Amino acid sequence: MNELYELTNPVFNTAKMTLTLLSAVGNEDSVAFEKALGFEQMPHVDVKSGEYELLKRIGAITIELRYALANRLIEQAGNKNVLDLACGYTPKAKYLMDRGYNYVGGDLPAVVEDMARVSKELLDGKAIFQAVDVTNGTSVAAAAAHLPEGPVTIDCEGLVAYLDKNEMTAMVRNFAALLAARGGCWVTTDFESDHYFLAIIQAVTGGQGEKFLKLVDSQVNKKTADADHAPVFANDEEKVTFLESMGLSVERRPITGVANMGLRTLQACTPEQREAIAAALGKINVWIMTPSGAKAAQPAGAGGLAIDQDLNGDALIIRLAGRMDSISAPALLNAFWDIPTAVKDITLDLKNLEYTSSAGLRVMLIMYKQMGEGHFRLTNVNATVAAILKDTGFSQFFVSADGALSDDDVEAVAGGSGDTGGQIIFGTLSDWRP
């Protein structure tokens, strides 16, 4: 089952790196969690060089700072109920529960299975971990229901950068709806994480930030990236406007007091580096969102995925209905693996597919690559799915009988014409990074 989860959601491997970096700098809770999980240091960076050692050091500073900031934000919020999304393999559960907080962690099924074992071994089974896709309002509400009555602090650490426009909109709708119903706040370091990451790189490398950003992209991000998509927001002001339109008030609080946070990684820096990091971080913010009193957005995403198959000789039609996200997408991949070897052609009928996240798109790509060009098709691509293909950049991978599926074709479908009027097959994927 873990293989299914990893293929549909390889991004969860970055959560492993977060834990191993915290463990490497001596965070005692992380050491215990890493031992219980059986993880190795930096599991997906295997090149040994001076540059990589420096990259690990930069990563460790960034991760330790982010972890400390998240805990400080939660404590300052004053709510004893914490919903940690996406929680990853963080030792935050132990840190908070030792201080009297009620904790529920939500993440991909692969992470939840591991963390349930850790909870039993290290937390007396009292920490609750549940499969959550932030675009699925039903799963968000179900996780929050495990917390006692009263305001909730939603913690979001290291998630935003992986979301496309559709996923971001659905997530914020779900968070806003939950906060409107329960009260509380949403705290995150994510909306300016690129700023403080670059600030730390510049301080530690003496201004070689661009070089090391390329190193991160070429050797780390490519392990978890999907098709490239345009940034969701052009600047921080657009982020604020968007969040306010969803019924949230936004407070941007400067990062201060870094010297007094006891960060082990900063102690290993030179005095000049520590001064440069502190000065740069003072111009960067963490974000706190609370219900504004305006009409909150309705939650997005409910229900699961229905899969219906119709076999005709060596051709198979698979009809999808409902929503395909990080929780339900593995079911399609599992169904694909169970298909008889005699099947030579597969068509996915998407007429009744209400939504697909990047996890669902990834499964489609896996199916194409195994079936081979010309033997895997999509049909009845509805307006919603066509718009997602365009927004995520996956439309570049499709061709029709008349050639490439152009932006105009996608716009026509997304504009309400219903479907493509024919079948779409995957084109060449030589540039796709699995």
Tens of pLDDT, residue by residue over 301-326, are 777 899 999 999 999 999 999 999 98
| Encoded tokens for 332 | 């399609």
Q: Does residue 431 lie within any of the structural domains?
A: no
| Encoded tokens for 422 | 């024919």
pLDDT value of position 162: 84
CA separation for the pair 94, 86 (Å, rounded): 16
Q: Which helix (H) or strand (E) holds 198?
A: helix 193-205
DSSP helix/strand/coil, 128:
strand
DSSP helix/strand/coil, 157:
coil
CA 94 to chain centre: 22
Which domain-ending residue is among 291, 318, 336? 291
pLDDT value of position 153: 98
Q: Does residue 297 lie within any of the structural domains?
A: no
322, 268: one domain: no
Q: Among residues 224, 223, 215, 275, which one has the least CA distance to residue 86?
A: 224
pLDDT value of position 404: 41
Q: Domain total for the chain? A: 2
Q: Does residue 118 lie within any of the structural domains?
A: yes
| Encoded tokens for 353 | 């597919």
104, 17: one domain: yes
Q: pTM of the prediction?
A: 0.83
106, 230: one domain: yes
Q: Does residue 83 lie within any of the structural domains?
A: yes
Which domain-ending residue is among 266, 291, 316? 291
Q: Does residue 300 lie within any of the structural domains?
A: no
CA angle 374/431/58 to nearest 5° reads 145
Q: Among residues 330, 322, 331, which one has the least CA distance to residue 304?
A: 322
Q: Say if residue 64 is exposed, middle or buried (CB neighbours under 10 Å; 0-12, 13-18, 19+).
A: buried
56, 103: one domain: yes
CATH of the domain at 233: 3.40.50.150
Q: Does residue 399 lie within any of the structural domains?
A: yes
Q: Which domain holds residue 378?
A: 305-426
pLDDT value of position 40: 65
Enumerate residue ranges in the chain where pLDDT < 70. 1-13, 40-52, 207-230, 296, 395-434
388, 412: one domain: yes
| Encoded tokens for 119 | 């909870």
Which domain-ending residue is among 258, 291, 324? 291
361, 270: one domain: no
- pLDDT tens sequence across 69-89: 999 999 999 999 999 998 999
CA separation for the pair 328, 303 (Å, rounded): 10
92, 224: one domain: yes
CATH of the domain at 324: 3.30.750.24
364, 232: one domain: no
Answer whether 150's CB lies under 8 Å from 183's CB: yes
200, 276: one domain: yes
pLDDT value of position 373: 76
143, 191: one domain: yes
What secondary structure, in 3-state letters, does 299-332 show?
CCCCCCEEEEEEEECCEEEEEEEEEECCCCHHHH
Q: Does residue 296 lie within any of the structural domains?
A: no
In order of 108, 196, 199, 211, 365, the CA distances from 207 in angstroms are: 37, 14, 9, 9, 39
pLDDT value of position 432: 30
Q: Does residue 232 lie within any of the structural domains?
A: yes
pLDDT value of position 424: 56
What secondary structure, in 3-state letters, does 207-270 show?
CCHHHHHHHHHHHCHHHCCCCCCCCCCCCHHHHHHHHHHCCEEEEEEECCCHHHCCCHHHHCCC
Answer whether 81's CB lies under 8 Å from 152's CB: yes
Question: % helix / strand / coil in the chain, to the nearest 5?
Answer: 50, 20, 30
136, 202: one domain: yes
222, 314: one domain: no
